[in-house]
Chains A and B, each alone.
Chain A
Amino acid sequence: MDTREKDIENLKDYKYGFTTDIENIRAPKGLNVDVIKFISNIKKEPKWMLDFRLKAFERFKLLREPDWQKPKYPKIDYQDLYYYSAPKSMKDKPKSLDELDPKLIETYNKLGIPLQEQARLNGIAVDAVFDSVSVATTFKGELTKHGIIFCSMSEAIQRHPDLVKKYLGTVIPTTDHFFATLNSAVFTDGSFVYIPEGVKCPMELSTYFRINASETGQFERTLIIADKGSYVSYLEGCTAPMRDENQLHAANVELIALDDAEIKYSTVQNWYPGDENGKGGIYNFVTKRGLCKGKNSKISWTQVETGSAITWKYPSCILRGDNSIGEFYSIAITNNHQKADTGTKMIHLGKNTKSKIISKGISAGFSDMTYRGLVDINSKAKNSSNYTQCDSLLMGNKCGAHTVPYIKNKNFDSNIAHEATTSKISEEQLHYCQQRGLNPEEAVGLIVNGFCKEVLQQLPMEFAVEAQKLVSISLEGSVG
């Protein structure tokens, strides 16, 4: 076995599949007003926040779970979940990294996010969310100098209530769809970012999410505000332990870009996908939406989706400001019994708005992958344009690849172009690579990386390396 093979052997099994024994505080099982009050109370939230939650819960009771998606799943009993779970030692929040529970730090080291090191060496500020609570935020001092606020959502509610009050729920209101509304009612923590006017954030901001406790739903809420003329690049990574039962992850992410601001949001999602028989794994039902509120603003989503039993999400851009730009770059890989129904929505409301969608889907094993996207050019969005390209690659005849684009053009000044192809890796390409000494798996890895290149290029350096590795690992065993 050469070293590369050994590497792969090590990585083949889900390397993040460990659990950490940490005492948890949990809210009572079930979903009701008392649980919501419990969450709000334990987080010492002001009354307006509790009202926000209760309003969402009232609305949630009227909603029906959607069922139009391609991957079907067994019914989730929302009363049989814990909506709050926090490591016990977090009750008295640590003031600095040194005070963190050593076990937690060990967990993060296993995950490959040594907080201290990352803080010192990489110059990436990390906010780690463990189960439901944000554990530590690194690099605070440096960011504060620039006036940047990067903290947990709970902290933001306490310390910056005006900002939270002003923007929370403006992109994903409490009256939104089923899962988003559920999140509004019970969200526990998440990251909050505010970049003040004219500031270019000097480093990448990063969050790691991890679900540790069993029977827990993770409902984090992220809010990023880029004030006039500012820029921020934000990274998000996710992992979870291996468990037999399915776990629900229903996060809400809201981005707001004011005049001339730019937000770049990158995700490498590697939740536990279940074993090769399709048992267990995370249900990743996330609502991500960005609002280009100001003129000349830009929001760009990049995602590498390799994990989760079911991925069901559509990071969207609402292009309200004139001349605003929305971008979506995605690689989604499904193997074994994984299922994905993902894509984006580009809603053009302002004049001269532009959007670009590049989506690459790869399915192998018994998996099923759907690209579903909406491009909607409103009658007022004069001179707008969209370009969409979605390509699918199939490996084996037990898997499926589907493309369901919705294209609505109500404006005669605007142009929409859409292209999609579905194909397999051709024998010639494989033969060519093998002739030059690569084994079949390496050849596939190379070709797939080439197939995904347009998207991988969009990722920040550190993530690109990780993502490239992930792409190869996810497809292990799918050749031949």
Chain B
Amino acid sequence: MKEQLKIDFEKIQKVSSFSNKDVETKKFYLDKFIKNGFPNRKLENWKFLDLEQIINKNINELSFYNDYSTTNKIDTSIFIGGLEHNKIIFINGRIEKIDFNYEDKNQIEIFDDFKIDYKFDNNNSLIDLNNAFSNKYFKILIKKGYTIKKPLIIYHLTNEKMKSKNINLRLDFELEQNSSLKLIDFFSDVSDTNFMNILYNFDLKKESILKNYKIDKSFNKNIKYSYNNINQEKNSISETFIFSASSDYFKNEINCNLKGEYSSAFVNGIFSLKDDKQHEIRTSINHLVENTKSFQLIKSVLGKNSKAVYQGRIYVDSIAQKTDGYQLSKAILLDETSEFNAKPELEIYADDVKCSHGSASGSLNENSIFYLMSRGLNYKESKELLINGFLLDVVEKITDAEIRNLIKNMIGLTE
């Protein structure tokens, strides 16, 4: 793999127009990645699902080179109907279109040539990989006091052309004071066995609100990794919802730094897995100042041969008094081959805090099934009804009514 990385890196430099300084930085991260390689089970964060092993097993000769010179045709049929929205279209590793048609153009700024801030989480080799290979960065700035009218949907698309490729995406968002953004990540793939590595960085200034919904619901054989870094100032709110279901492997990481007082973070997630899928959510909520709040709710329904992992960490700094941290994960195992692993972690250095977590896993309650069957439902219907109710609980946490209904319909939940 080492040789492949170097060859592909040279190839990219030849066809791209990076400045010398950029190439130097990229080279630095390339060397770092070559040294550390893909993360494996020896690292605590990757203990339950070993990415190195999964990539070696599923991808034959991973290539890091992509030809970004030709444009890709956009298949408009996959666009989400029934909801007016702004779009970013990301196909085969290329951002083809950024479209803020519904918004006031003066209130949103898009930079494609800005000084990127590489410096966060230096121990993550996938971020190094992203830094070394991502093609073009964009930064989107929502100006002071502006509330985006329609949600922004980022379409993550691939077609048959892509096979055994590594695709990297990096986007930065800055929400100025009192602004707000609704962001939906929608994944749709026709390709096979690629490795996607997505890195978002959000800077939330005072009183800003970010809502991020990630939806992975079209079946595909790709391996995905997504990392959200969120920095929050005073009174800001971030809400993240993850529907994790359809890729062969998907790990979502949320790293949230609550740096301003009265800021709060909400993470809600659903795993709905079957057929050899292996998914993971790892959160790290860092309470760094007084009076911050976090809430996490993760529910899983696991079918045949599937495996879900939830690693949630609440960190409370010694000055972060009056922190309120809550974490709950629940899992239903439907088959004897399914597996659920959890590591809900509390790391607390302040005494005047309220932190708790709970984790439960088991099978569907036979008494409840019996109750429903005695009222005329058959076994399958009873089971479905119970699962529906179990998952609905998470979707109900979505604060935006329009998007809540959209997601409910998308994943087939009824009230």
Residues of chain A at the chain B interface (Cβ within 8 Å): 68, 379, 392, 394-424
Q: How far is the CA of A414 from the CA of B344 in the complex (A)?
A: 19
A420 touches B346 (CB 8 A): yes
Q: How far is the CA of A392 from the CA of B333 in the complex (A)?
A: 30
Q: Which residues of A contact B351 (CB under 8 A)?
A: 394-397, 399, 424
Tell me whether B342 is interfacial, beta carbon within 8 Å: yes
Q: How far is the CA of A416 from the CA of B359 in the complex (A)?
A: 8
In the complex formed, the residue of B with least CB distance to A391 is B356
Instruction: From known contacts A415-B360, A416-B361, A420-B356, infer whether A398 and B318 are also in contact, taking CB-CB under 8 Å.
Output: yes
Q: Which residues of A contact B319 (CB under 8 A)?
A: 397
Distance in Å: Cβ of B278 to nearest Cβ of chain A:
13
Instruction: From known contacts A379-B336, A412-B334, infer whether A407 and B359 are also in contact, taking CB-CB under 8 Å.
Output: yes
Tell me whether B350 is interfacial, beta carbon within 8 Å: yes
Which of B318, B333, B354 is the one whose CB lies under 8 Å from A409? B333
Which of A397, A407, A420 is the one whose CB lies under 8 Å from B349? A397
In the complex formed, the residue of A with least CB distance to B325 is A422
Q: Which residues of A contact B356 (CB under 8 A)?
A: 419-422
Contact indicator per residue, chain B 339-367, by CB within 8 Å of chain A (1) or not (0): 11111111111111111111111110000
Q: How far is the CA of A287 from the CA of B359 in the complex (A)?
A: 27
Which of A407, A414, A421 is the one whose CB lies under 8 Å from B343? A407
B361 touches A402 (CB 8 A): no
Q: How far is the CA of A68 from the CA of B45 in the complex (A)?
A: 12
Residue picked from B321, B345, B354, most chain A C-beta under 10 Å: B345
In the complex formed, the residue of B with least CB distance to A408 is B341
Q: Which residues of A contact B340 (CB under 8 A)?
A: 407-409
B348 touches A401 (CB 8 A): yes
Q: Which residues of A contact B336 (CB under 8 A)?
A: 379, 411-413
Distance in Å: Cβ of B49 to nearest Cβ of chain A:
12
Q: How far is the CA of A405 from the CA of B338 in the complex (A)?
A: 20
A418 touches B344 (CB 8 A): yes
Which 6 residue pairs are nearest across A and B when measured between Cβ atoms? A415-B362, A412-B333, A394-B351, A418-B359, A403-B346, A407-B342
Q: Which residues of A contact B347 (CB under 8 A)?
A: 400, 402
B344 touches A394 (CB 8 A): no
Tell me whether B169 is interfacial, beta carbon within 8 Å: no
Q: Which residues of A contact B355 (CB under 8 A)?
A: 421-423
Tell me whether B75 is interfacial, beta carbon within 8 Å: no
Q: What are some 11 contacts across the A-B interface (CB < 8 A)?
A: A399-B351, A400-B349, A403-B345, A405-B342, A405-B359, A407-B343, A412-B363, A413-B336, A417-B358, A418-B357, A424-B351
Q: Which residues of B contact A400 (CB under 8 A)?
A: 318, 347-349
> How many A-B residue contacts, CB cutoff 8 Å?
116
Q: How far is the CA of A429 from the CA of B323 in the complex (A)?
A: 20
In the complex formed, the residue of A with least CB distance to B347 is A402
Instruction: From known contacts A399-B351, A416-B359, A418-B359, infer whether A404 and B318 are also in contact, taking CB-CB under 8 Å.
Output: no
B361 touches A415 (CB 8 A): yes
Given contacts A392-B348, A407-B343, 6 further A-B contacts (CB under 8 A): A400-B318, A405-B342, A412-B333, A415-B360, A419-B356, A422-B355
Residue picked from A401, A405, A412, most chain B C-beta under 10 Å: A412
Majority SS at the chain B contact face: strand
B341 touches A412 (CB 8 A): no
In the complex formed, the residue of B with least CB distance to A421 is B356
Q: Which residues of A contact B341 (CB under 8 A)?
A: 406-409
Q: Which residues of B contact A406 (CB under 8 A)?
A: 341-343
Q: Which residues of A contact B321 (CB under 8 A)?
A: 397
B352 touches A424 (CB 8 A): yes
Instruction: From known contacts A410-B339, A412-B338, infer whether A422 and B359 are also in contact, taking CB-CB under 8 Å.
Output: no
A414 touches B339 (CB 8 A): no
Instruction: From known contacts A416-B361, A421-B355, infer whether A404 and B345 are also in contact, taking CB-CB under 8 Å.
Output: yes
B362 touches A405 (CB 8 A): no
Q: Which residues of A contact B352 (CB under 8 A)?
A: 397, 424
Instruction: From known contacts A397-B321, A412-B333, A416-B359, infer whether A402 and B348 are also in contact, taking CB-CB under 8 Å.
Output: yes
A413 touches B363 (CB 8 A): yes
In the complex formed, the residue of A with least CB distance to B313 is A404
In the complex formed, the residue of B with least CB distance to A398 is B318
Q: How far is the CA of A365 from the CA of B156 in the complex (A)?
A: 51
Q: How far is the CA of A418 from the CA of B345 in the complex (A)?
A: 12
In the complex formed, the residue of A with least CB distance to B44 is A68
Tell me whether B335 is interfacial, beta carbon within 8 Å: yes
In the complex formed, the residue of B with least CB distance to A425 is B351
Tell me whether B331 is interfacial, beta carbon within 8 Å: yes
B353 touches A422 (CB 8 A): yes
Distance in Å: Cβ of A479 to nearest Cβ of chain B:
12
In the complex formed, the residue of A with least CB distance to B338 is A412
Residue picked from B360, B361, B362, most chain A C-beta under 10 Å: B361
Q: Which residues of B contact A414 (CB under 8 A)?
A: 362-363
Q: How far is the CA of A192 from the CA of B360 in the complex (A)?
A: 39
Which of B318, B348, B360 is the one whose CB lies under 8 Å from A418? B360
Distance in Å: Cβ of A372 to nearest Cβ of chain B:
9
Which of A399, A412, A420 is the one whose CB lies under 8 Å from B357? A420
Q: How far is the CA of A392 from the CA of B346 in the complex (A)?
A: 10
Distance in Å: Cβ of B274 to nearest Cβ of chain A:
13
In the complex formed, the residue of A with least CB distance to B320 is A397
Which of B335, B346, B350 is the one whose CB lies under 8 Å from A412? B335
Distance in Å: Cβ of A116 to nearest Cβ of chain B:
47
Q: How far is the CA of A72 from the CA of B351 in the complex (A)?
A: 22
Q: Which residues of B contact A379 (CB under 8 A)?
A: 336-337
Q: How far is the CA of A31 from the CA of B219 in the complex (A)?
A: 59
